[in-house]
Amino acid sequence: MKLLALIEFTFREGLARKTIIGFAVISTFFLLLGVLAAFLIPTTIEMGNPQTGGSTIDITTNPTVVWQVQAAMTGFINFAALVLSIFATASILPNTMEKGSIDLLLSKPVSRYDILLGKSLGSLLIVFVNVAYFIVGMWLIVGIRTGEWNMGFLAVSLSITYTFIILFAPMLVIGISSRSSALTIIVLYVFMFLLSPILEARAVILQLASSDAAKTILDTLYYILPKPDALGKLSYSLVMHLPLDWMPVWSSGLFAAVMYALAAWMFRRKDF
């Protein structure tokens, strides 16, 4: 009951700070664009030159074309959802650790582990509700327009939420150690936009600079650190019904487990 109360409190905090509302407004705006596109885009596509024997494809009878359109959307959705999720939840724990807020919580018969777990699950709930709202909305729009109900696209909400769970672990460690939401956001964005793409493209980089030392460093960092880019490819595979590469899933999960354990240890020993 105490844990559920903490989760509910975190969710209500997101509502009070307009975090959830802002997230929902942005999602609704893009859903409305999706509805507009559904009305404007025809259900038939001309392939080649009709004068020289081109063909017409009816996307309502060709699910692969619908999958490809959804897969193209998935890249943007994955990127936007993670950027907004990090921005929306980075301040939750630092705000909780402010004088007055943390004193009120510690005065209650609740452990520090419960506080950290409740805040984490509350943040996860905020992200999942908003991501699921958008994904389900787009799934319904495409399904109604084309008649193709791609369950793989619906599953993207789970892969994006899992990626957020992975990234939220280092966010907790940074937030506990620095009490700064700004620093948390900066570090995560630098990792997502700079370091992670470099590690994902390490094979190409090593072809340009053949160095055993560089290869060892890049490979070590790649297998130790989380892999948001590779998990983004997982979303693509779900939409296109391709075989899934599970290595980024379990290796990123191991990293997150270590970070969550470290965050719990740091929060328990933190002097408030």
Q: What tens digit of pLDDT does each residue of 109-156 get?
A: 888 898 899 999 999 999 999 999 999 999 999 888 888 899 999 999
User: What is the per-residue pLDDT for 165?
Assistant: 95
Sole residue written with tokens 């705006």: 29
pLDDT at 120 (0 to 100): 92
**Is residue 47 one of the residues assigned to a domain?**
no
50: in domain: no
Q: So what's the pLDDT on residue 61?
A: 66
Let me know if residue 164 belongs to a domain: yes
Please tell me the predicted confidence (pLDDT) of residue 104.
78
Is 117 inside any structural domain?
A: yes
- Which pLDDT does position 253 carry in this prediction? 95
Please state, for a pLDDT cut of 70, what percent of the chain lies above it.
90
Give the length of the chain: 272
Which tokens sit at 201? 């493209």
- Residue 48 inside a domain? The answer is no
Conformation bin of residue 241: beta by default, left when phi > 0, alpha when psi is -120 to 50: left
- Coil, helix or strand for 47? strand
Return the percentage of the chain with pLDDT > 90, whole number.
40
| Residue 122 domain boundaries | 2-42+59-269
Q: Is residue 136 part of a domain?
A: yes
The residue type of 269 is: R
What single-letter amino acid sits at 11? F
Residues forming a β-bridge with 195: none
Helix (H/G/I), strand (E/B), else coil: 33: helix
d(CA 168, CA 148): 34
Query: Across the chain, what does the average pLDDT equal?
Result: 86
- What pLDDT is stored for residue 169 in this prediction? 95
Per-residue pLDDT tens over the stretch 162-217: 999 999 999 999 999 998 999 999 999 999 999 999 888 887 777 766 677 777 88
Q: In this structure, which amino acid lies at residue 121?
A: L
pLDDT at 198: 87
Average the pLDDT over each of 26-35, 112-121, 214-223 and give the range with the smallest value: 214-223
Q: Is the pLDDT of residue 48 over 60?
A: no
Task: Single out the residue of 162, 110, 157 nearest to residue 5, CA to CA.
Answer: 110
Report H helices in the chain.
2-16, 19-40, 63-89, 92-96, 101-106, 112-146, 151-154, 156-178, 181-190, 196-200, 202-208, 212-224, 228-240, 247-269
pLDDT of residue 109: 80
Top-confidence range, 7-16, 55-64, 92-101, 182-191: 182-191
Q: Is 145 in contact with 37 (CB distance < 8 Å)?
A: no
Specify whether the CB–CB gap between 177 and 266 falls below 8 A: yes
pLDDT of residue 202: 80
pLDDT of 49 > 60? The answer is no
- pLDDT over 90 at 269, yes or no: no
- Domain tally, the chain: 1
Residue 106 is predicted with a pLDDT of 77
pLDDT band, very low/low/confident/very high, at 258 (cuts 50, 70, 90): very high
192 lies in some domain: yes
Most confident of 59-63, 112-116, 217-221, 261-265: 261-265
Radius of gyration of the chain (CA): 22
21-30, 86-95, 111-120, 207-216: which range is least confident on average? 207-216
Residue 51 located in a structural domain: no
